[in-house]
Structure 1
Amino acid sequence: MKYSITNRLVKRALSLSFISILAAATSCNVLDKKPLDSISDEAVFNDPVFLQNYVYNVYNGIKPPWAPGTGGYDVLTDIAVNQPETHERSAGIRNYLEGNLTADNVNDLVAIVNGLPAATPLWDYEYGFIRKANVFFENIESSTITADKLDPMKGEVHFLRAWMYFELMRTFGGVPIIKNSFQLNSESFDVPRNTFDECAQFVLAESDLAIGFLDGVPVNTGKISKAAALAFKARVLLYLASPLNNPSNDLTKWKAAETATKAVFDLGFTLHPQYAELFKKPLKTDETIFGKSFTPATRIPGWGYNYDFWPSGFDAQQRIVPTQTFVNMFQLTNGEYPYAADGVTVNAASGYDPQKPEKNRDPRFYDTVIYPGAGPLNIIDGSKSTQRLYEYWEDANPNPDNAAPYINPNKVDPKNGQNLFDFGRDSKTYWVKGLTPFHWRVQTGYTFKKTDDFAGPRASFDNDYNQIVVFMRLTEFYLNYAEIQMALGNEAAAREYINKVRKRSSVNMPDIKSTGANLVRDYRNERAIELHLEDSRFFDLMRWKAAPGNVDIAIRGLTKVTMDWSVAKPGDAMGKLTYTYGVIPEAEVRKPWKGDHYYLFPIPNTEIRKSNGVLKQNPGY
């Protein structure tokens, strides 16, 4: 028996997958009809409730933005760095950044854990759900479900099949287009790759079908809608127009992306006033075009974002942290960057003081980055609950041999008036004593804030965390439109749409007025700030062919921060902080960019072998 991508996807009987889907059904009355293990395939495809739950299962084929590992692929870029002792994809990350990615080890990087019992390679993951979509289309041909109920589900599954193929395309390039479910007795499982352009046309055709079937269907928050299908089509067209996929800079591709993006604007979405609220329950449907909310039973795997991004001084995994490069992208409120383009030389025109790095920054900085002294943060760890500053400093004037006391004598718990002998003093002293074992390994001195839920505990399987996932929102399309206008030579229009994002009421940054290369820098910085941890930065750098100088750079951050308590005045929460910046010696060493073939990942050799060589490898691997 030959095995390839397709026969492995059918090794379980169809009815078994129905049982797992029905177990999550939302209607108890439906489940009472007959025992789950006796539900037939025919019953599922002729009952609108059963079938809708089958479709909901196919939604899981949308790769979550935190996958693979934590933070998606942002850790392969200039904005985030991996902390290898806690990140489950560390081996794959290191292979990529050191230029050692191969078809034999690529699955170490791309394997997905999303409610599955074990990590699943991205290729298998997406084709597994593509097969579920194909099963849907094969079985609804004889369904007795009325069109008013069946057609919206058709739209959802066309959208999902398009999304999953696009995920494979932007990762591997052209892939096999498979539109049937394949049975174990099929004559052949050796399916060649389609070209990238053929895949693109298939994805666009699927999007158009989704748009048609979803036309007029009432919007149900969290479900795929016509608006989501229109936005997805516009995103795909932007990728197709980008330098990686449009080497001749065919302007008709940019015009197609422009038309599709304008159609998104016509849908009536607006920017939500508060940036930080976009990533908390409930979904902000004024700006969010497509997103997902969670309950304790359906939450982000493990303990959710909190366990992965919670400040490590408060005991968490802290798998990735922001780089100094990312921190430097946040301008001052006067619209100037704190540093020159080299990231080392202070921009004298900005008025920036490296010893007061948190002063007068873009308001999104405070919603995005937790920096030394940031807070107060409402920390709930087990039985402890208090408001604390985030610390990442060592004592400038410690007591000999770490003898007591270890605290700023002015630091008291506002709730009970007691001195804070935990986390109320320099973190390194307590790390040395073993009292804060996770704290000092924060490589750059900064942590991410965007996804944290400080209203709940760090880790609880019972807490209903307020975190959500945003797959598409209006901001992305304002920025996409700005990029399209730059490509078409309309810089004024590009600035207009970048400035729309900057004028969100909670941000209200000065308009940018740049041109040429400076406009490109402003645009790309704006995009990195707004869309970080939303599965955008890595693929943006790839489609722009902009990896050199962004991926293969040394990781910079805070190499030392000291707190001088001797200058603390009565009532002060802190003394004087002194910052030292530089290259982080503990960070992985990023080797020079490997070459253009690295803009796509290799197809796993397991798939090449199972196809008996019919699948052809990407060049360079």
Structure 2
Amino acid sequence: MKKYTLVTMMAVLLVAMLSCEDELTTIPKDTITDQGITFSANEMEMYANQFYTSLPGTMAAWAWESDAASDNNVPASFTSYPLAFGTQTIPASGGGWNWGNIRNVNFFLDNISVSEAPQSAQDKYMGEILFFKAFFYFDLMKRFGDLPWLSTTLDVDSPELFEGRLSRSVVADSILSVLNRSIEKLPTKTQTQEGRIHRDVALLFKARVALYEGTWEKYHAGTPFEGDGRDVNRFFVQARDAAEEVMEGGYTLYNDFSHPEIPNGFSYWRLFSTPSSEISGISEVLLAREYSADLDLIYWGQQIRTSGGPNGQGISKSLVDAYLCDDGLPISVSPEYMGDETLEDVTTNRDPRLKMTVSTPGMPIKISNGVVDRYELPFLTLNPWPNTTGYQIYKWLSPFIATEDASGNNTSNAVPLFRYAEALLIAAEAHEELGTCTQAVLDRTINLLRDRAGVPHLNAVVGFTDPNWNFPELSPLMNEIRRERRVELAFEGFRTDDLYRWAATDLIRAPRLGSKLEQWRDRPFEPAYDVDEVSPRVENVDGYISPLLQTFGEGEVGFDPSKNYLAPLPVDQLTLNPNLKQNPGY
């Protein structure tokens, strides 16, 4: 294997270089400029390579952090998440209003006609570039809503630079149209190089985009954030059909992991702690980001083991409470629920995915040369709190320490980016939005996930009422479908987007709580830690850890639903183009 480096090929009139220490191991080393380019197969591959670093990277940088603005997580500081906590200000410039990637993909699309490469190569890289155009546009649409649509490469005096924004409905339709073209061009997974975009990745992304926009426009209808009022079912139909096409692709859920130190059935957990060298053998994973210790392409993997997760965060009580008991009932009605006085109680008789997500006493956190270090206590400390809630993440932790890294500081585990489970969840939700979610649909979607976890099946007639359903205005079945999505995809980068597309203001604003503080009394901590000393600062009236108590008191966080569903446009862009209008509330 070779060590790979990416070099960005920029559009005409732009000269730049992009290098990255942290990239897919499948990308070759080479350099190229836009001068004299012929769009040979090798040049097209290098051009496409630059965009792969835009895909999510390590657990610390993506999966955990992306949920930090949601009710799954409790950060020690809210300043890094200004929309969710209501502190967003209007930037003078920047603020995510960045169109460089769109310009670069358009340059490729405008100029590929000069290529004399075989048509199969042209189609492959055209498909990849179209995927990335949709990927970049979707990211901008989620952040800003209405957008200009740029179909071609622009220069500094192009009149399109001074046009206004199109309705997000039109933008979403355009993104889906681009993805349709991508799907037509891309090869199948077996026909392309490992680690590259293929047809089923584009299909799953299409399902993701369509479900997002359909639910956004449905649940934001009548607000300043709505679409153009057209029938949103067109999005749900596309989400359903694309997800089901993925489901017909022969993928299966990973369910064959066992280890003497890890309980049977932990194959779900193993998905997120699999070495890159083994990830290609897991059918469930459509696309992963791969790393290699041999190539010095690794990421910092010690944080879960030694500090409970990156950047002073912790799993929320809200997420822990969402897991069903092992009888298939929620904690509010199940006789199996042991209560939450201790970590041991709260994880007993529960959906096994809870113990695969939250660290529990006795689970291995480091296995090296036959020596097993087991989890005992959360890494709670006062200044700062590496773990803020007492609920410490176990998902994404690999206790298996390679001999070349006996300290366990680093990891070359793969990061799954697109997996079959998401297609199952999208299909179920889209069916329920369309009013067609039957028992047969559940049995080939959500109940496959429950079979792997060892949880009783979900019935179309749910059969119980949970007084703590997050969405009491919706059907019991929709509540359970959304619960399943939350549990299955926890800390994979979906929850914040889900809350925003569902217009779930109450959940975004709810106080962020952790475990019962009293259970940590008289436990030894390093550095020394005294429950009585810290309780006035972080203990709410019911005895739960509330890391943001000093900031928000016992009430809701500062999210403002009149504006914080979207980010503001920067001042300089509004000045340069008077046809751009600011987002609501700013």
Compute the TM-score of the two structures, normalised by the length of structure 2.
0.76
Are 1:332 and 2:325 an aligned pair? yes
Cross-structure match for 1:417: none
Relative to structure 1, is the Cα distance of residues 348 and 360 closer, same or farther in structure 2, using a 3 angstrom cutoff?
A: closer
Cross-structure match for 2:259: none
- The separation in 2 between residues aligned to 1:329 and 1:102, in whole angstroms, is 33
Alpha-carbon deviation of 1:331? 1.9
547-556 or 455-464: bigger deviation = 455-464
Give the partner amino acid of 2:350. R
Give the partner amino acid of 2:547. E
Q: What secondary structure does 2:422 align onto?
A: helix
Alpha-carbon deviation of 1:531? 0.7
Q: What secondary structure does 1:141 align onto?
A: helix
- The separation in 1 between residues aligned to 2:60 and 2:319, in whole angstroms, is 20
Structure with bigger gyration radius? 1
- The separation in 2 between residues aligned to 1:250 and 1:205, in whole angstroms, is 16
Are 1:59 and 2:31 an aligned pair? no
Alpha-carbon deviation of 1:317? 4.3
Q: What secondary structure does 1:471 align onto?
A: strand
Relative to structure 1, is the Cα distance of residues 472 and 617 closer, same or farther in structure 2, using a 3 angstrom cutoff?
A: same
How large is the RMSD of aligned CA atoms in angstroms?
A: 3.8
Relative to structure 1, is the Cα distance of residues 441 and 452 closer, same or farther in structure 2, using a 3 angstrom cutoff?
A: closer
Cross-structure match for 2:181: 209
Relative to structure 1, is the Cα distance of residues 26 and 452 closer, same or farther in structure 2, using a 3 angstrom cutoff?
A: closer
Relative to structure 1, is the Cα distance of residues 257 and 186 closer, same or farther in structure 2, using a 3 angstrom cutoff?
A: closer
Cross-structure match for 1:614: 579
- The separation in 1 between residues aligned to 2:66 and 2:157, in whole angstroms, is 38
Cross-structure match for 2:447: 499
Q: Give the alignment partner of residue 456 of structure 2, picking from 483, 495, 510.
A: 510
- The separation in 2 between residues aligned to 1:121 and 1:67, in whole angstroms, is 22
Are 1:445 and 2:390 an aligned pair? yes
1:553-608 CA deviation, whole Å, 9 max, x = no partner?
A: 3423231324789xxxxxxxxxxxxx997332432534365225432222233432
Q: What secondary structure does 1:321 align onto?
A: strand
Are 1:378 and 2:366 an aligned pair? yes
- The separation in 2 between residues aligned to 1:511 and 1:203, in whole angstroms, is 36
Counterpart contact for 1:272–1:287, Cα < 8 Å: yes
Q: How does 1:229-248 map to 2 (within 5 A)?
A: 229-245=202-218, 247=221
Q: Give the alignment partner of residue 594 of structure 1, picking from 548, 553, 560.
A: 560
- The separation in 1 between residues aligned to 2:245 and 2:359, in whole angstroms, is 37
Cross-structure match for 1:219: 192
Counterpart contact for 1:330–1:362, Cα < 8 Å: yes
Q: What secondary structure does 2:287 align onto?
A: strand
1:295-322 CA deviation, whole Å, 9 max, x = no partner?
A: 245757xx43x25534417xx7443210
Give the partner amino acid of 1:231. L
Relative to structure 1, is the Cα distance of residues 462 and 44 closer, same or farther in structure 2, using a 3 angstrom cutoff?
A: farther
Cross-structure match for 1:319: 312
- The separation in 2 between residues aligned to 1:445 and 1:598, in whole angstroms, is 29
- The separation in 1 between residues aligned to 2:91 and 2:112, in whole angstroms, is 39
Cross-structure match for 1:81: 74
Q: Give the alignment partner of residue 357 of structure 2, picking from 368, 371, 391.
A: 368
1:24-49 CA deviation, whole Å, 9 max, x = no partner?
A: 99798x95xxxx5xx55355444322
- The separation in 2 between residues aligned to 1:27 and 1:299, in whole angstroms, is 12
Cross-structure match for 2:534: none
1:340-360 CA deviation, whole Å, 9 max, x = no partner?
A: 3xxxxxx46334243422322
Q: Give the alignment partner of residue 140 of structure 1, picking from 97, 112, 115.
A: 112
Q: Give the alignment partner of residue 291 of structure 1, picking from 288, 291, 308.
A: 288
Counterpart contact for 2:148–2:166, Cα < 8 Å: yes
- The separation in 2 between residues aligned to 1:75 and 1:384, in whole angstroms, is 35
Give the partner amino acid of 1:465. T
Are 1:17 and 2:17 an aligned pair? yes
- The separation in 2 between residues aligned to 1:558 and 1:551, in whole angstroms, is 21
Q: How does 1:130-279 map to 2 (within 5 A)?
A: 130-184=102-156, 186=158, 189-215=161-187, 218-245=191-218, 247=221, 250-273=232-255, 274-279=267-272
Q: How does 1:86-105 map to 2 (within 5 A)?
A: 90-93=78-81, 95-104=82-91
Give the partner amino acid of 1:538. T
Relative to structure 1, is the Cα distance of residues 173 and 295 closer, same or farther in structure 2, using a 3 angstrom cutoff?
A: same
- The separation in 2 between residues aligned to 1:542 and 1:463, in whole angstroms, is 35
- The separation in 2 between residues aligned to 1:68 and 1:606, in whole angstroms, is 29
1:372-407 CA deviation, whole Å, 9 max, x = no partner?
A: x24232177xx9975132314xxxxxxxxxxxxxxx
Alpha-carbon deviation of 1:164? 1.0
215-224 or 470-479: bigger deviation = 215-224
Give the partner amino acid of 2:505. A
Counterpart contact for 2:316–2:389, Cα < 8 Å: yes
Q: What secondary structure does 2:506 align onto?
A: coil
Relative to structure 1, is the Cα distance of residues 25 and 558 closer, same or farther in structure 2, using a 3 angstrom cutoff?
A: closer
Cross-structure match for 2:471: none
Relative to structure 1, is the Cα distance of residues 18 and 447 closer, same or farther in structure 2, using a 3 angstrom cutoff?
A: closer
Alpha-carbon deviation of 1:250? 4.1
Cross-structure match for 2:96: 122
Relative to structure 1, is the Cα distance of residues 348 and 499 closer, same or farther in structure 2, using a 3 angstrom cutoff?
A: closer
- The separation in 1 between residues aligned to 2:86 and 2:106, in whole angstroms, is 37
Cross-structure match for 2:531: none
Give the partner amino acid of 1:357. V
Unaligned runs of 5+ in 2: 1-8, 222-228, 256-266, 464-473, 524-538
Q: How does 1:537-556 map to 2 (within 5 A)?
A: 537-556=495-514
Alpha-carbon deviation of 1:275? 0.8
- The separation in 2 between residues aligned to 1:612 and 1:184, in whole angstroms, is 13
Counterpart contact for 1:603–1:618, Cα < 8 Å: yes
Cross-structure match for 2:346: 357
Counterpart contact for 2:11–2:103, Cα < 8 Å: no
- The separation in 2 between residues aligned to 1:18 and 1:527, in whole angstroms, is 36
- The separation in 1 between residues aligned to 2:188 and 2:63, in whole angstroms, is 37
Counterpart contact for 2:62–2:493, Cα < 8 Å: no
- The separation in 1 between residues aligned to 2:406 and 2:243, in whole angstroms, is 41
195-204 or 136-145: bigger deviation = 136-145
Number of aligned positions between the proteins: 512
- The separation in 2 between residues aligned to 1:16 and 1:586, in whole angstroms, is 43
Alpha-carbon deviation of 1:205? 1.5
Counterpart contact for 2:24–2:195, Cα < 8 Å: no
Alpha-carbon deviation of 1:368? 0.7
- The separation in 2 between residues aligned to 1:200 and 1:460, in whole angstroms, is 48
Give the partner amino acid of 1:287. E
- The separation in 2 between residues aligned to 1:41 and 1:243, in whole angstroms, is 39
Relative to structure 1, is the Cα distance of residues 20 and 455 closer, same or farther in structure 2, using a 3 angstrom cutoff?
A: closer
Alpha-carbon deviation of 1:57? 0.8
% same residue: 24
- The separation in 2 between residues aligned to 1:181 and 1:600, in whole angstroms, is 27
